[in-house]
Amino acid sequence: MDNQAVPEIRKRTKKRQAAGIGIALSLAACLFILLAAIRSGSVYISVSDLLKIIKSHITGSPLPAEVDPMSDSIFWSIRMPRAITAFLVGGCLSVSGAVMQAVLQNPLASSYTLGVSSGASLGAAFVLLCGITIPVLSGFMLPAAGFVFGLATVAIAILLASRIDRNVSNQTIVLIGMILSLFVTGIMNLMMTFYGDRSKQLWLWMTGSFSARNWMHCAILAAVGAAGLVILLMLSGRLDILTFGELQASSMGVDVKKTKIAAILVSSLLTGVSVAFAGVIGFIDLAAPHIVRRIFGPSHKIVIPMSFIYGGAFMALCDLAARTVLSPREIPVGAVTALVGAPFFAYVFFAKGRRSA
């Protein structure tokens, strides 16, 4: 017994160490990507100058004389909020995708399955095409409309699903989400035919962009993202069990209906706030969780935080490509995520060998 137990414990510690190293490497890579996203562009800055700028803003001390005030405004007011917004949006979308895949027990489910994106687009259409504004919201009219319409669509989908099917089965949820998305998109297309002259603007919004994002956007995203992460981590054990099917989950003590609705609402909140600030950016929410599962295994306690890191880093990288590859022209981020991501995802997914950890 004893001489068996020793190698076993060693093996376990080794595995735990491997997971720890994986997490540390991922965090380091993520930081490196963020730094690259902030530094790359037409204006150069050294890392030490960048750190000085950050330090002076955090501590409130005046900027050291050797740092160009011009780079202060470029990096602190433009590039940093932009990169961080991209990171947070990517993280929120990926976490939301991971959770939807678990809740619906469907590897193809995404943050957008329940119609957040089409709802948000309709909201944006009202603002951009019809020019409806509420003075108090001023600059935040577009995100606010996107957010409210996006979440309203999900709420209607869940309400309809629970009306039609008392057990709120996954098939019902997915079907209702699809039907509602198509219907809402139909309304938006109808509007676009009436306001054809302004539909370019709407198209730009829908393909996603991070240009001209400020610290306010970052703060809101960070707050919603953190709250969502904590709640979803509290649900992580239930999500693990839910992937075994609803009957087994309830026999193991999970209140399936409550868990499902809570998880869907929180992940829709994450998607809603992301779409509101960045437009509809697909693909990352689908791909990042799958890659994370492949590396770290399917346990949600690790899939949820690592999806945030991987999705965020990937989004920051895509935004970097979007603004630099054809500079000074910008490519829509949504196009980059799909163009870069699709082949990469296919390679990771179909390459031989399962998860390495």
* Cα-Cα end-to-end distance for the chain: 27
Cα separation of 261 and 263, whole Å? 5
CB of 274 to other proteins, least distance (A): 24
Residue with tokens 């909140």: 269
H or E segment to which residue 97 belongs: helix 80-103
Q: Taking the mean position of all CA atoms in its chain, how far away is CA 102?
A: 16
Q: Binder to other proteins among 39, 82, 238, 323 (CB under 8 A)?
A: 238
CB of 165 to other proteins, least distance (A): 12
Contact predicate 74/38, CB 8 Å: no
Q: Binder to other proteins among 17, 133, 189, 251 (CB under 8 A)?
A: 251
CB of 354 to other proteins, least distance (A): 7
Cα separation of 295 and 5, whole Å? 27
Q: Taking the mean position of all CA atoms in its chain, how far away is CA 337?
A: 12
Selection from 272, 330, 283 nearest residue 310 by Cα:
283
Nearer to other proteins, 58 or 247 (CB): 247
Stretch that binds other proteins, among 172-180, 254-262, 310-318, 341-349 (CB under 8 A): 254-262
How many of the chain's residues bind other proteins (CB under 8 A)?
A: 30
CB of 163 to other proteins, least distance (A): 17
Stretch that binds other proteins, among 101-109, 154-162, 179-187, 191-199 (CB under 8 A): 101-109
- Cβ neighbours of residue 239 closer than 8 Å, sequence gap 6 or more: 99, 102, 103, 232, 259, 263, 300
Stretch 105-144 residues interacting with other proteins (CB under 8 A): 105-107
Q: Is 253 in the site for other proteins (CB under 8 A)?
A: yes
The one-letter code for the residue type at 105 is Q
Stretch that binds other proteins, among 34-42, 125-133, 188-196, 239-247 (CB under 8 A): 239-247
Q: Is 64 in the site for other proteins (CB under 8 A)?
A: no
Contact predicate 263/232, CB 8 Å: yes
Q: Is 14 in the site for other proteins (CB under 8 A)?
A: no
Q: Which residues bind other proteins (CB under 8 A)?
A: 102, 105-107, 233-234, 236-238, 240-241, 243-245, 247-248, 250-256, 293, 297-299, 301, 354-355
